[in-house]
Structure 1
Amino acid sequence: MFITGVLLLLPELVGAESPLPVTTVELEAVLVHPVREAPAEAVALNDTRLGAEINGVIAAIDVAVGDRVERGQVLARVDCTPHRIEVARARAALDAGRATLEFSELQLDNARRLSERRSISQEELDKREADARTRKAELDRLQAALDAAGYTASKCTIAAPLNAVVIERIASVGDYAVPGTQILRLLDDENVEVSAKVQEQDLDGLEAAAEVRFTGRLRDHPVRLRTVLPLLERRLRTYEVRLRFTAEPAPPGAAGRLRWRVGGGRIPADLLVQRDGGLGVFVLADGHARFQPLPEARAGHPAATGLAPTTRLIVDGRFRVEDGQAVTVD
C-alpha cells in the first residue's frame, strides 16, 4: 500500500518544480545609444575685409589688432581735403545755377506779360519757356552733382559695419588708397555656426537626432541643425551641414567633432540569448519568464527593440531559463 501511494503522488511531486531564481534590471537602465560623429569647425558668418571706397591718402587708422569695435565706430580716415574742395565747387555751381534759373524765370514772366499785350511774338515766348525749362534741368543736374560730391566726401571716414574684433591691419597710414584697397580685417565673433562634413549614410540620423553637440578642445557646445547643403562631395560621399549654437558659441576657427545619438536605445549584445534559432531577451511577466524575440538582432551587435523602457529584463539566469518558466527575483 505504501509503495502504491508513493507512485500515485510522484507526478504531482515532479510537476511542483521550484521557481528558478533570477535577477532583473529595468530596460531603460541598460540601453546603449550608438553615437555618430563627423569632423567639424566653428566658422564666423562674417569675416570682413574693410576697404576704402574713394581715392586718397590714408590719414589715420584709429584701432589696433585685437580691439573690439562696435557698429558705426570710425576705424580709419582718408585725407578728405580734395573731396571737400569738390563739395565746395559743386555748391558754388549750384548757387550760380539757381541764380541763372531765377533770371530765366523772371524773363519768362516778362515775356508772358508782353505776349498778353501782343508786344512779343509767340516764337520769342516759346524760346523763353524753353530756356527756363533748360535752366531748371541744369539746376537739377547741379544738385545731383552736389549730392554725389557730398556722398564721396562722407566716405572719407571708414566705419565698422558690425560688432567685431580687429584681427588684421592690412594697410598703413600714408598709403595711397583707391576704391577696393583693403585697410582692416574684422571678424564677427558673435555670429558663429558649425560647419561639418557628414557621411551620406549618417544624414538621416543627424536630422532625426534629438541632441547634437559640437565637441571642441575645451568643452562641449549644444547645437541645432540649420541646413544641409544640397551638394554631395563625390570622392568622400559627404554633405556639408551647418548648425547653430544654442548656447555660448565656440570661438571662430575652433576645430572639433560633431556628435549625435542615432535613433532609440539598443539592448547590449551580451544580454541577448538564442532560442529556437533566433535572438531575443527574457522579460519578467507575472512571475514567469517570457522570451521576446528580436527579429533584427545580430550576434555580437546591440539590438533595436520596441519594448517599453520600464520592462524588466532577466539578467542572471537568462541562459538557463525557458519560455513560460516560473521564476523568483533575488
Structure 2
Amino acid sequence: MRRLLTIARALRACAKTLALLMGGIGVAAAQDARVETQRVEDTPRIETLRLTGSVSAPRTSQLSSAEAGQVASLDVALGDRVSQGERLMALDSREAELERQRAQANIDQARADRDDARQRLNEANQLSAQQNIAASEQRRRQNSLAAAEALLDARQTEYALWELRISRHTITAPFDALITQRDSELGEWVTPGDTLMTLVDIDALRLDFPVPFSAYGRMDDATLEIRLEGDTRWYAARPQARVPQDATSRQFLLRAEPAEALSLLPGMALEGRLLLEGETGPSVPRDALIRRPDGSVSVWLARQEDDAWRAYEQRVEIGSGHEGNVAILDGIEVGDRVIVVGNERLEEGQTLSLIDDD
C-alpha cells in the first residue's frame, strides 16, 4: 500500500510539471513573432545564361623564311618575351652578300658607261653648234646615253633585290609577343614555308564563348561576367563581336575582352554568365524563399487584419535569380509584404511584430 501511495504522489507531481510546461508553450505561441519584411517591387527580370568558354589569341604568327639557307644564329629561346622588330634568328647570308658585291660592281661599271656616253653627247652638241658633226651622229650618241642610263637603272634594281634578299635572311618579331614554340635548331637547313617558330600576343587575348542563337537579339543590353577556373570571384568583360557559326550548331561565337587586367594564357578554360534583361515583374530576396522537401517553394507574407499583422504562407513559382534576388513568376503581386527575416518557424495566421513597421 505504501508503495502505491508513493507511485501516486509521483504521478501527480509529473502531471503538475507537464501542465506547467504546456502552459509555458501556450504562452510562447501566443507571443507575436518578430519579423522583418520587405515590399515586393516591380523590377527588371534578369535571366542568367551560363556559358563555358576559353581564352584565345587573335594574333598568333607562325614565322617562316622567304629564303632558303642554313640557320646561323638563334637569338631567342622558348618562353622568351620579345618586342616588335627584335631579331629572332638569322640564316647564313654569305652567298647573298657576294652577289650583292657583284651587283655593286655592275653598278659602278654601268655608271662609268653612262658618264662616258653623257660626255660624248655633250661633245656632239658642241660640234653640232659649229656644224662640224652630222645630225645622225648626234642622235646615235643620244641613244647611247639613254641605253647607258637604262642599264644603270637595271643594275641598281638588281642591287636593291639582293639587299632585300639579304634582309630576308634575318627573322624579326612582327609584334610584341611570347615565343610559344621553336621548330628550328642552329645549323639546320630551312626552306621557304618551313615553320621556324610560333609567336603569340598575350597582351591582346580574347575570350570566346559559344552562345545559343536565342540570345542573339538580346545582346545589346546584356552584361557579361567571367570567372577563371578555380576562382570564386566574377570579373566584368566587354563583348566585342558576335560571329555567326555553322547553322547546324545553333550557336554564335561571342568574343569579348576582360575589363581589367587578368593573368590569362591562351587555352585557359573560362566560366561565363550572360545577364539578359527581360520583362519587369515581382522579385523577392533569396532569404524569403522556403523550400519544401517535396520540391515546392513558398514565401511567408505579412498581412494586416483588424489592426494586427498576421503570417500567411503562399506557394510561388520562381524564375532566375541575380545578386541575391529571385524573380517570382506566379503567386505574389507587386506591393505584397514578404517576410525576409524570422520566417523559419511561423504558423499560419500567427500574429507578427514587424521590426520595420512603417
Which category describes the TM-score, using the shorter chain as reference length?
Answer: 0.7 to 0.9
Distance of 2:133 and 2:146 partners within structure 1: 19
The answer to whether the Cα contact below 8 Å between 1:32 and 1:268 also exists between their aligned partners in 2 is no
Match of 1:137 among 150, 154, 160: 150
Match of 2:137 among 124, 133, 139: 124
User: Helix, strand or coil: the match of 2:193?
Assistant: coil
The answer to whether the Cα contact below 8 Å between 1:40 and 1:214 also exists between their aligned partners in 2 is no
- 1:99 match: 112
The answer to whether the Cα contact below 8 Å between 1:215 and 1:259 also exists between their aligned partners in 2 is no
Amino acid at match of 1:224: R
Shift of 1:107: 0.5
- 1:313 match: 337
Match of 1:157 among 170, 178, 199: 170
Correspondence 1:256 to 2:270: yes
Match of 1:242 among 250, 255, 273: 255
Distance of 1:114 and 1:44 partners within structure 2: 73
Structure with greater proportional strand content: 2
Shift of 1:102: 0.2
Please list, as runs of the form range in 1=range in 2, the aligned pairs for 1:261-280 lying within 5 A after superposition. Answer: 261-263=275-277, 266-267=283-284
Deviation readout 1:167-209 (Å, 9 max, x if unpaired) = 1111222222222222111121111011110011123444422
Amino acid at match of 2:328: A
Shift of 1:43: 0.4
Shift of 1:234: 2.4
- In structure 2, the CA distance between the partners of 1:283 and 1:224, relative to structure 1 (3 Å rule), is farther
Deviation readout 1:80-137 (Å, 9 max, x if unpaired) = 1011111111111111110000000001001111111222221111111111112112
- In structure 2, the CA distance between the partners of 1:259 and 1:151, relative to structure 1 (3 Å rule), is same
- In structure 2, the CA distance between the partners of 1:251 and 1:75, relative to structure 1 (3 Å rule), is same
Please list, as runs of the form range in 1=range in 2, the aligned pairs for 1:1-330 lying within 5 A after superposition. Answer: 23-27=36-40, 33-218=46-231, 220-229=234-243, 231-249=244-262, 250-263=264-277, 266-267=283-284, 299-301=317-319, 302-303=327-328, 313-315=337-339, 329-330=354-355
Shift of 1:22: 7.5
Shift of 1:156: 2.0
Distance of 2:308 and 2:173 partners within structure 1: 74
Shift of 1:32: 8.1
Name which of structure 1's ranges 87-96 and 258-267 shifts more when overlaid on structure 2: 258-267
The answer to whether the Cα contact below 8 Å between 2:39 and 2:338 also exists between their aligned partners in 1 is no
Shift of 1:213: 2.1
Distance of 1:82 and 1:99 partners within structure 2: 26
What TM-score, normalized by structure 2, do the two folds share? 0.69
Distance of 2:125 and 2:300 partners within structure 1: 109
The answer to whether the Cα contact below 8 Å between 1:165 and 1:186 also exists between their aligned partners in 2 is yes
Q: What fraction of aligned residue pairs are identical, expressed as a percent? A: 21
Amino acid at match of 1:303: I
Distance of 2:329 and 2:228 partners within structure 1: 27
Shift of 1:314: 3.2
Shift of 1:215: 3.6
Shift of 1:284: 8.7
Q: What is the RMSD computed on CA atoms of the aligned residues? A: 3.9
Contiguous gaps of at least 5 residues in structure 1: 1-20, 273-279, 290-297, 322-326
- In structure 2, the CA distance between the partners of 1:203 and 1:37, relative to structure 1 (3 Å rule), is farther
Deviation readout 1:16-53 (Å, 9 max, x if unpaired) = xxxxx98522557x998542122211001222111112
The answer to whether the Cα contact below 8 Å between 1:169 and 1:184 also exists between their aligned partners in 2 is yes
The answer to whether the Cα contact below 8 Å between 2:318 and 2:329 also exists between their aligned partners in 1 is no
- 2:13 match: none
User: Helix, strand or coil: the match of 1:262?
Assistant: strand
Distance of 1:116 and 1:73 partners within structure 2: 61
Deviation readout 1:255-281 (Å, 9 max, x if unpaired) = 122212232684479779xxxxxxx99
- In structure 2, the CA distance between the partners of 1:84 and 1:232, relative to structure 1 (3 Å rule), is closer
The answer to whether the Cα contact below 8 Å between 2:205 and 2:257 also exists between their aligned partners in 1 is yes
